[in-house]
Amino acid sequence: MIPFRPVCLSIWHARLMLSVRQVKQRSFPSLILLGMRFLWIHAFQLILLSILGSVFTNTNVQAQVKPFTKIYPVAKAWSKNSINAIIFRKNSLVTYKKHQYIAFYDEEGQVVLGKRRLGSENWSLITTSYSGNVKDAHNVISIMVDGTGYLHVSWDHHNNPLNYCRSTKPESLELGPKMAMTGSQESRVAYPEFYKLANGNLLFTYRNGESGKGNLILNLYDCKQQKWTTLHDNLINGEGQRNAYIQTTVDKKGVIHLSWVWRSSADVSTNHNMCYARSRDGGHTWEKSNGERYTLPITAGNAEVAARIPPNSELINQTSMATDDIGNPVIATYWKESAQDVPQYHLIYLQNDSWNVKILPFRKTNFTLSGVGTKRIPVSRPQILASRYGGRSVFYMIFRDEERKGKVSLLKVTNDQNNHWEIIDLFNEDMGAWEPTLDTELWKKKKIVNLYLQKVEQADLEGQTDFPPQMVNVLEWKP
């Protein structure tokens, strides 16, 4: 780019020299007109310098530009707590072929399903016969579509029997009867999550047992046989002293990446360490990032620690992870370093076979996570996406922060030596206690972000507010 100021000054100098030559050849009236012309040109150039000069020298301009987004309205839904807009919904939105599916609780606590053609604002919605205990924000709805087009739904869990069913036919919103998966260890289910493998089969993860004492269960669904089997009934063993709070992703090659923090009791302040495992064979065997195979079950004694974080660090559980285009994992979370005054967002990522931690120190407000149950926290748990451009990983972290007036914000950071990052707002309204969930399958295929968007409120200790039903929207953004 040619520097603007030197060019303008050169033009001004040329005009001045031309005017001097013209003065010698003009009469007095002509000189008056020439002087007025010179002053007008000079004033115009000063204005132009002021406007364009500020654009080219202000390094924060990019962070102030509103990105192109599109909003797709759906319907009003329950908003008295954060159950519809909490981060461990896997998924709230999912795309299969040319259609997108959505699920949420309405104001009566009924499970509502929706479907639209991508790009369309017209949703087909049905209110199912199923309902959930919407007074407990843990009891979320999770959905996924398998490789043959069947919609799978799980809902209403916080240490209670499994609630699961699937559609009666491919690409349908009509659900069949409630059914078991395997019939084993399905009486104390919490945090159900679906993940789609490269071959169209599904993984289903959940915690069996209570906070601080639960084990991780992993089931596999075979699309051709339409059958669930148990891959592991104790993949991560808390040994009766702790449990793992996980985040998972499946990369383009079908590798399953799993990370977790340990919690020693129901108190959030006991969260500690970030650990990691991956599977290259659909969840059957597991290994560390260096290829060393795990002896199962994974325990605190043999787990690979990606980042050592002590208890009482305001470390949050159940955040998000992703991989870039070549399979390098990145985990987004927040905690407070011993030398910091406030909790900050962190990225934990694998690069050149070693784990690294990137601190994003833009927050200024302190808070504490101590206690049990769902809490009203001034920030959301972060949602992370990753891509790769010019041989470098690029991370996109989506979050909400009261310091930014509760807007839907996105932080973009390029993983290079400059450590440059910028923040933009995708949606300028206060979203209350909303946390980001997205259409993972649409991102994988088209690199398009579709977020479940709904303003909700949350009181401490599973409390409810009097907040009326709010509109559910889908926010679309393209990097």
3-state SS class at 33: helix
Before 297, cis peptide (omega within 30)?
yes
Q: Are 313 and 272 in contact (CB under 8 A)?
A: yes
DSSP for 359-420, please give it.
EE----------SSS----SBPPPEEEEEEETTEEEEEEEEEBGGGTT-EEEEEEE-STT--
Please give the pLDDT value at position 375.
66
Fold of 61-477: Neuraminidase (2.120.10)
User: Each residue of 44-59: pLDDT tens digit?
Assistant: 444 443 433 333 223 3
Nearby residues of 268 by Cβ (< 8 Å), 6 or more positions away: 316, 317, 369, 370, 371, 372, 375
Domain range summary for the chain, segments of one domain joined by +:
4-57, 61-477
Place of tokens 């209670």: 160
pLDDT for 419: 74
DSSP code of residue 268: G
DSSP code for 94: E
pLDDT, position 30:
53
Segment 95-129, tens digit of pLDDT: 999 999 999 999 999 999 999 999 999 999 999 99
Over the Cα atoms of the chain, what is R_g?
A: 27
pLDDT number for residue 40? 55
Instruction: Let me know how many helices (H) and strands (E) the chain has, helices first.
Output: 4, 26
Distance linking the first and last C-alpha atoms of the chain: 23
Do the Cβ atoms of 461 and 117 come closer than 8 Å? no
What is residue 2's predicted lDDT score, i.e. its pLDDT? 36
Q: Answer for the pair 195, 90: CB distance below 8 angstroms, yes or no.
A: yes
Query: 168 by DSSP, 3-state: which?
Result: coil
pLDDT at position 351 = 93
Residues 6+ apart with CB under 8 A from 411: 345, 360, 396, 397, 399, 421, 422, 423
Q: What are the backbone angles phi and psi of residue 435, rounded to the nearest 5°?
A: -125, 150
Question: What pLDDT is stored for residue 372 in this prediction?
Answer: 65
Rounded Cα distance, 231 and 209, in Å: 18
Nearest Cα to 309, choosing from 376, 263, 241?
263
Q: What pLDDT sits at residue 271?
A: 97
Give pLDDT < 70 ranges for the chain.
1-66, 371-375, 461-462
Quick one: pLDDT at residue 209? 82
Q: Which pLDDT belongs to residue 37?
A: 55
- Predicted pLDDT at 36: 53
Long-range pairs for 106-111: beta carbons < 8 A, 24 or more residues apart: 106/75, 106/76, 106/77, 106/78, 106/469, 107/76, 107/77, 107/78, 107/469, 109/78, 109/133, 109/134, 111/141, 111/153, 111/155
Cis previous bond, 317, omega within 30: no
Residues 248, 91: Cα–Cα separation, whole Å: 12
CA distance 223 to 256: 18
Give the separation between CA 408 and CA 452, rounded to whole angstroms: 11
Return the pLDDT at 418.
74
Look up the pTM and report it. Answer: 0.86
pLDDT at residue number 56 = 29
3-state helix, strand, coil in the chain (%, to 5): 15, 40, 45
